[in-house]
A and B are shown apart, each in its own frame.
Chain A
C-alpha cells in the first residue's frame, strides 16, 4: 500500500506540474482552450491525490495526518480541493494559474519530508486527531485560496490592460466578494480546528489552552482574519487594504504551520 502511495504521489506531482504549465500557457499566451484542459488535469491530479492519501491511510493503519509529510501533502490536497471548487463556482480559471504554483510548492515541500511511517505516541492516539487535522486542512486550503485571490486583486490593475484579463478576471468588487467567501470558509474551519484541538488537549493534557506557540499562533491568525472581516465591513477598507490583510493572514497561517515548528518548539512539535 505504501509503495502504491509512493507511485501515486509521484504521478500527482507530475499532474500538478502539468496543470501548472497548462494554466501558465493559458494566461501567458492567452490560449483560452487550455483552461478546461488545465482544470481537467488538476482534477485528475486531485482524484489520484485522494487515492494516494487513502493508500497511505490504509498502509499506515490510521489517518494520514500526523507528521510533517502527511500534513504537507494533505495541505496541498485541501488547497487543490478548495481552489477547484472556487474555480468552478465562480468560473474563474485564472485563479488556477495563481493557485497551482502555491500548490506545487506545498507538495514539493511534502516531497522533501521523510515519508517514514512512525508509530503514534499515546497522546496522538485519539479520535479528535481526525476532526482537528481535517478541519485544519480545509481551513488552510481556503486561506491559501484567499491569499491567491488577494494577490490577483493587488495585481489586477496591472494585468487588465489587455482585453484578455478583463474578460477572465472578475472586477474588483466581485474579486473582493470571492476573497471574502474564501476567508469566511477558512475562518469557520479554523475555528472548528481550534475548538476540536481544545477539546482534545483537555483530554490528553488536562488543559484546553496552554498558550503553547502553535496554539498562540493559531489565535494570532484567527485575530488577523477577524480584523480583516471588521475592516472590510467598515467600508473604507474594502478592496486594496482588505486584500493586503488577507495576504497577511496567510503569512500568519504559514508561520503557524512551518515557522512555529522550526523556531518555537512546544508541545505541538512532533515529527
Chain B
C-alpha cells in the first residue's frame, strides 16, 4: 500500500507540474518565456508533452499493475470475509466492537439500527466463554456465552456488499485507465472545414463530407446561441451526390454519429473566395478558409497563404456573429511564399488586387466557414463504463457500511453486540443510542458518554480493520 500511495502522490505532482508548464510549445516559445537553459531542460525531459511522456506512461503502468495485483490478491480474502460477515453460524466469532447488556427487548435495537429481521440461532457449544457474572462484556475479550448457559441467540447482518466497495472502485479505475489508454493509441481524429457547397475528404478515413448549409443562430441580444451545420457523409468514390450519403445536422453539444465516426460542430471562422488571374485570364478560383493556402496552379512553388480575416479598416478581428453583409471593409492578411521563402506579407483591403509579376490575386465574398471535428474512438465507452464502476465502488465503500448485530440471552436478560469496523465511532454511537432507548427508563439518567460507558462498552480496538489493510 505504501508503494501505491507513493505512486499516486507522484502522479499528482506530475499532473500539477503539467498544468503549470504550458504544454505542446516549441523550444523557442519556452526560451522566450523562461530562459534557454530551462527551455532545453523542458524539451529534454519531455515536460512539454508531459502527459504522453514515457515517465508518465510508466508511472500509470505501475499504478495499473499495482491495482491489478492488489485486486487479484484480495479476491479470496474478501469473499471469505463477505461470507463470514453474513454467516449466522459465525455470529460469535468476531470481537464485538460495542456491546450492551441487561437489555430486555433486543429486537428493538435491531430495529433501531435498521438491521432487518434477525435470524434465530442456537449459540453452539464450544464458544469461548465470557467471564462469568460480569454483566457487561469485556473490552477486548471475546463476547460469547458460557457453553453451560446455552440460550437463544439472534443475529442480523446488513450491507455486507459494502466490503467490496474499494475493490469495485479499483476495478473501475483500471477500466477507466484501460479505456483511456487504448483510446489514445487507436483513435483517429480529423478536422474538416469549408463553406456550404464544398465536399472535402475526411482525412484518410475513406469518407468524404459535404457541407450543405451552415448557420450561426443568434439570440435576442445578438450573441451567438448556436452554430449549426447540415452535412452529408459518404464513402469516397460513392459518386457525386451519391444516394448513399448519410445526412445529419450537427451543432455545438449535439454531435452526430455516422459510419462509426462522430462529427462535432467545433468552431467557425471567415472564408473568402480567392481568384487568381494570369495576364488577365482566369487561372483558378477557390474558397479559402483563414489558415489555408493554395499553390498557384501553373507555378506550384508560388503559394498564397490566407492568414486571417479582419473587418477593416481598423483591422479589428471580425467576430463570428458579424453577418457577411455587415462587413463594410473586409481585410485579408496574406503571406506569399516562393520555394518555401517568404516573399511578402501584407493586408489586402476590400477587393484590392495583389500583383505578383503576371499574376493577380484577389479575395472576395467573405463568409463564415464551419469547422467540423471528426473523431473515431472505439474505447470511449470502456472509459465511461470504468468511470461509472468507480462511482459505484465509491458509493459502496462509503455508503453501504457493513454491520452485524448479534445478541444472546443469559438468565433472562440479553446482551447485544455490534460490529462495523468501517462505521467506527459513528456506528458505536448509534448502537449505544439504540441500546439506551431499548433500556428505556433505566438509561435516562446516564446520557453522557462517561455515564454510558459504564454500561455499554465500545471496544477501542479497530484491529480487525488494520489487519486487513496492512497487506495492501
Contact = CB atoms under 8 A, between A and B. Distances in A.
Interface of A: 118-119, 121-123, 125-126, 173-174, 177-178, 180-181, 184-185, 187-188, 191-192, 194-195, 198-200, 202-209, 211, 213, 216-217, 219-220, 223-224, 226-227, 230-231, 233-235, 260, 264
A219 B387 CA distance: 13
A192 B391 contact: yes
Given A122-B252, A234-B470, 17 more contacts: A123-B252, A125-B226, A180-B424, A181-B426, A185-B398, A188-B391, A188-B394, A188-B398, A203-B255, A205-B266, A216-B19, A220-B12, A223-B8, A223-B9, A235-B469, A264-B19, A264-B20
B383 interface: yes
A202 B252 CA distance: 11
A195 B8 CA distance: 19
Interface in B131-176: none
Interface in B212-250: 219, 221, 223-227
A234 B3 CA distance: 12
A191 B8 contact: no
B316 interface: no
A174 B5 CA distance: 25
Contacts of B111: none
Given A206-B266, A230-B4, A217 B253 contact: no
Given A174-B425, A203-B255, A206-B373, A198 B225 contact: no
A52 B276 CA distance: 61
Given A123-B253, A125-B252, A206-B373, A217 B16 contact: yes
Given A202-B380, A204-B253, A122 B227 contact: yes
B19 A206 contact: no
Contact of A198 (B19, B226, B384, B462): B384
Contacts of B253: 122-123, 125-126, 200, 203-204
Nearest to B429: A174
Contacts of A205: 264, 266, 373
A220 B387 contact: no
B466 interface: yes
User: Which size bracket describes the interface of B in this complex?
Assistant: 35 or more
A200 B18 CA distance: 23
Contacts of B424: 173, 177, 180
A123 B251 CA distance: 9
Nearest to B179: A208
B49 to A, nearest CB: 10
Nearest to A184: B398
Contacts of A123: 252-253
A233 B469 contact: yes
Interface in B440-472: 462, 465-466, 469-470, 472
Given A191-B390, A192-B391, A206-B264, A122 B251 contact: yes
Interface in B17-69: 18-20, 23, 51
Nearest to B254: A203
B391 A227 contact: no
Contact of A234 (B1, B20, B221): B1
B139 to A, nearest CB: 15
B82 interface: no
B5 A227 contact: yes
Contact of B225 (A122, A195, A213): A122
Contact of B15 (A180, A216, A264): A216
7 contacts: A177-B424, A206-B266, A216-B18, A217-B16, A227-B12, A234-B2, A235-B466
A217 B425 contact: no
Contact of B51 (A126, A180, A211, A217): A211
Contacts of A230: 1, 4-5, 8, 472
A177 B425 contact: yes
A206 B395 contact: no
